[in-house]
Structure 1
């Protein structure tokens, strides 16, 4: 049960402006929690600076640790494969870094001959995890359930819509130009399911009765998308997928967003987090 929960998709919010907002919120929460509640033993005679500045330094450590660890994670993260487990591991890494940084500044703020002892090293890490896990245990599951509930509800609404309301098609075969003239082809719009980007090639899937056929063409997803721009029911749900919304059999909701079940195809296709609002508008209009 726990393992299944940890593998559930989870939205990744830590990029761009969001990272700075989250780091700033953590700084504010840490400053308020440390200064006003004094959660751990405060022995003022050994303070080199006022308790306000000690709280400020600890909070700044948390702020910088969040920017450092999550910033490094952003260099290689795959948002579409992010899970609850990944979220917890990332938070654990941030907390460990904060705890180590709190230990490294002890000599600057406390007049204690044992500042560099293993006791205080473990104590700083323990204290950081005690506070951090308290927030994480509460906030991560709550946010997961909130997102899951919202996307499941919207997915049900989308599934209840009449498929006959999609944009009508007057064209059945559309000439498609590829990067290699001998590879040009006519796209059957009635049978087209979706296209998947694979490097410099494009996998194009067609409906064939209860089966699916696939052809490989030398072109990019962007090139195909531009040639299908007159047909609003062809929609780029993800940087690697262009989907015929007429062929969506069911929309499934999870905490990360939506997964699309396509007619005659066994696997689900993703809707990336950045495309969720556009997808909802497009699907409702369709």
Structure 2
């Protein structure tokens, strides 16, 4: 019994870890920020080594600033190569719509590794003229990681904050556009006939006006259909594939499959919010928000330009 409980807890922990590693993560795309970040990493390394002089650097008697500058230059070149060249060479790998926590961790580890290689080669060749302490390659990885962990954490926080602000600003613009479009519709004397949704599934039939339909949420093999009727939020649970459900409503304007688990009526959007990873839709009368998949984000922005 205890073994079974432990095995289940282990499985749950493993699933949570996999889900966290596969969670979306923002990928830096601004060349200006990439260049500034590369220079900042190099300057940080120079400042840190010059002020604290760890790892035997304090024993250097001649050309100390120039010697330390070599490590800073290596750091700058490696980071710049990783930021500019790698995404160009491996375009499919560096797809911002598929960038995850796992890929970001591997990417960071790769940068640290190539900086370690550069530092080790620099010290074992040119550095032999000014420093007498020899470190193994593995120790150089540890040294590079211990120095680089601080600017890396700061960089990741800065990247997420910057992208969160960008997406929040775009989300605010989308919300303003939605309300301006609503004002135009409200000012029209003749309104078009409201389309009806005739949704048939699981031996049941749901017939309602499009302006009452809110969203469909997928839960495993079941769908939760949300709609507003008789001044209250209603929910019907049916057994039906989400893909087939979308085939029944996709001919209607402003009904979108915006996430792998959601179909939403964009006429019901009250506001849009954004973070570093994606956008979220706030629909009228709905008690939860609907996430927008990264693959649909560009379509969302295009809809409300």
Normalising by structure 1, we get a TM-score of 0.60
Instruction: Give unpaired runs (5+ residues) of structure 1.
Output: 1-9, 46-50, 79-85
Alignment of 1:174-189 (within 5 A): 174=198, 176-178=199-201, 183-189=203-209
Higher percent of residues as helix = 2
Whole-Å separation in 1 of the counterparts to 2:247 and 2:143: 59
RMSD between aligned alpha carbons?
5.1
Task: Write the deviation string for residues 149-172 of structure 1: whole angstroms up to 9, x where unpaired.
Answer: 232233233234326739844543
The change in CA–CA distance for 1:93 and 1:129 in structure 2 (over 3 A counts) is: farther
Whole-Å separation in 2 of the counterparts to 1:281 and 1:134: 33
Which of 208, 230, 240 is equivalent to 2:251? Answer: 230
Which residue is 1:261 aligned to? 282
Alignment of 1:19-168 (within 5 A): 30=38, 55=74, 59=78, 63=82, 95=108, 98-99=111-112, 102-103=115-116, 108-111=121-124, 113-116=133-136, 122-133=142-153, 135-136=155-156, 138-162=158-182, 165=185, 168=192
Pairwise CA distance, 1:196: 0.9
Instruction: Give unpaired runs (5+ residues) of structure 2.
Output: 1-22, 51-56, 64-69, 88-92, 125-131
Q: Does 1:245 align with 2:259?
A: no
What SS is found at the alignment partner of 2:287?
coil
What number of residue pairs does the alignment pair up? 249
Pairwise CA distance, 1:115: 0.7
* Contact 2:116/2:137 (<8 A) preserved: no
Normalising by structure 2, we get a TM-score of 0.57
The change in CA–CA distance for 1:195 and 1:101 in structure 2 (over 3 A counts) is: same
Whole-Å separation in 2 of the counterparts to 1:281 and 1:30: 32
* Contact 2:217/2:224 (<8 A) preserved: yes
* Contact 1:251/1:258 (<8 A) preserved: no
What SS is found at the alignment partner of 2:223?
strand
Which residue is 2:232 aligned to? 211
Which residue is 1:277 aligned to? 298
Whole-Å separation in 2 of the counterparts to 1:102 and 1:133: 17
